[in-house]
Chains A and B, each alone.
Chain A
């Protein structure tokens, strides 16, 4: 199975900050890496697919980069509604594992 690690596990940031979250795979997943946002009591929401493609309706302050085994999600200009947990997921090879998540909290 492909293992995904995310760092940091949590971070505190202020509105307007730029934050960068990382996801590392135990082996290459090419560009088949996706990012989701989840708020308490809600289903996850797709933000970025295939490493760097912004999903429909997602604000442009979200961006993704990377390939192979190292990926980043950047939020430029954090807004109050962005405080949530972010998960990465690989869709390169089954089982299609998720990372443990990064919780973004208000400073």
Chain B
């Protein structure tokens, strides 16, 4: 049974760095054919794909956030992380970690429950 669980501060001050961790169980982050994603959802809004890590630390970020985002993995702990620098109120959102699978057309087959992060001024 694959499970993903986000953890991290629920409140971040404006201009500071948002840091979240996604703990994976039921599958190794080193398993081939998977991409490990971060996605966010602003309150009452749609979904925004942030980026992913794959194949031992390779990454791809959405261009609009690329200058502020880092996604990294720790295979020894079977987790991956999100760092978003210089946050503003516009970064207040529910952040999801998720797995996408090549066998399923790179669709997202497993999601974490989501972590609400509020940026305070």
Contacts and interface: CB of A to CB of B under 8 A. Distances in A.
B26 interface: no
Contact residues of A: prevailing secondary structure: loop
Nearest to B62: A95
B104 A43 contact: no
A97 interface: yes
Interface stretch (B8-16, B77-85, B105-113): B105-113
A2 to B, nearest CB: 11
Nearest to B46: A100
Interface in A35-94: 36, 43-46, 49-50, 53, 55, 87, 89, 91, 94
Given A43-B96, A43-B113, A91-B100, A50 B107 contact: yes
A89 B62 contact: no
A40 B112 CA distance: 15
Contacts of A44: 47, 96, 108, 111
B50 to A, nearest CB: 9
A94 B105 contact: no
Contacts of B47: 44, 87, 89, 98, 101
B117 to A, nearest CB: 15
A53 B105 contact: yes
Contact of B105 (A50, A100, A101): A50
A22 interface: no
B63 A95 contact: yes
24 contacts: A32-B105, A32-B106, A34-B105, A34-B107, A34-B108, A36-B108, A43-B96, A43-B111, A43-B112, A43-B114, A46-B108, A53-B104, A55-B104, A55-B109, A89-B47, A89-B49, A91-B105, A91-B106, A94-B62, A95-B62, A95-B63, A97-B49, A98-B46, A98-B49
